[in-house]
Amino acid sequence: MAGLTGRMSTVVKAKVSKLLDRAEDPGETLDYSYQKQVEQLQNVKKGIADVVTAKKRLQMQESSLQQSVVKLDTQARQALAAGQEDLARTALERKNVAQTELQSLDGQVHELEDQQQKLIDSEQKLRAKIEAFRTKKEVIKAQYSAAEAQVRISEAATGVGEQMADVGLAMQRAVDKTENMRARADAVQELEAAGTFDDVTQLGSGEDDIDRQLKQLSSQPAVDDELSKMKAELGAGSTAPEAPQISSGESQPSESGQA
């Protein structure tokens, strides 16, 4: 019969039997198993810490991008108000790219949170089984003959070993996920390092490579849309005559949260 879990069961059982093979003397098996279990628990803790670190890195990038979005939006408005439509468009293109990255980062942060929770649950389960094993180990040592003890040990160690293998799998999946995300985080960092989200008013005249790349990365219909919206807002604002000083449009909430 074709299988769904056959391969998983086989892999896990192979791992468990490896653990059991290590010692022949029952007492030694017990102590060796227990020692391995405690080590594994430490590894799980480290795995959780790694996920948290990866998540924090993404969150820092998120808040930096968030600031860029606000800044670029403001600059686009200012440029438009000053009649510099090209500059406004450039700012909006960059804002659009930043927003797209933000959304993607947001999804990844949620996914890492999910992984973190799963690992915490797994750690708790493993801890409970190890504790049960520790108790059982003493009972076995005290109550059974060597031959009988061997059987009991195998049973008990199988249960813990299986949980260990299961936690190991969860950690592996978490590591794979954080690695995929690291690639994405690096890409965002490159964009930042290239000055993508910097002050657009500092740009020299003429289109540079970054601008050309950004034009491709950003969604032009979305940029067009936002530009005309902004124009309408400014148009409406400027018809209000002699509005003194600080432009009243500034206090309106921007739509920077949405792509």
Residue numbers at the binding site for another protein (CB under 8 A): 1-10, 12, 16, 114, 118, 122, 124-125, 128-129, 131-133, 136, 155-156, 158-162, 166, 169-170, 173
Whichever of 1 and 142 has its CB closer to another protein, that residue is 1
Whichever of 112 and 170 has its CB closer to another protein, that residue is 170
Minimum distance between the CB of residue 56 and another protein, rounded to whole angstroms? Answer: 23
Whichever of 104 and 158 has its CB closer to another protein, that residue is 158
Minimum distance between the CB of residue 133 and another protein, rounded to whole angstroms? Answer: 6
Whichever of 12 and 214 has its CB closer to another protein, that residue is 12
Minimum distance between the CB of residue 33 and another protein, rounded to whole angstroms? Answer: 11
Whichever of 78 and 154 has its CB closer to another protein, that residue is 154
Minimum distance between the CB of residue 121 and another protein, rounded to whole angstroms? Answer: 8
Number of residues assigned to the chain: 259
- What is the CB-side half-sphere exposure of residue 119 using CA atoms within 13 A? 27
Q: Are 33 and 69 in contact (CB under 8 A)?
A: no
Whichever of 22 and 212 has its CB closer to another protein, that residue is 22
Minimum distance between the CB of residue 15 and another protein, rounded to whole angstroms? Answer: 11
Token pair belonging to 207: 């289109």
Minimum distance between the CB of residue 253 and another protein, rounded to whole angstroms? Answer: 36
Whichever of 63 and 180 has its CB closer to another protein, that residue is 180
- What is the torsion angle, in degrees rounded to the nearest 10, for the CA atoms of residue 100, residue 104, residue 106 and residue 110? 160
Minimum distance between the CB of residue 125 and another protein, rounded to whole angstroms? Answer: 5
Asked whether the CA dihedral 160, 166, 169, 174 is positive or negative, the reply is negative
Instruction: State the Cα–Cα distance between residues 84 and 232, nearest whole angstrom.
Output: 15
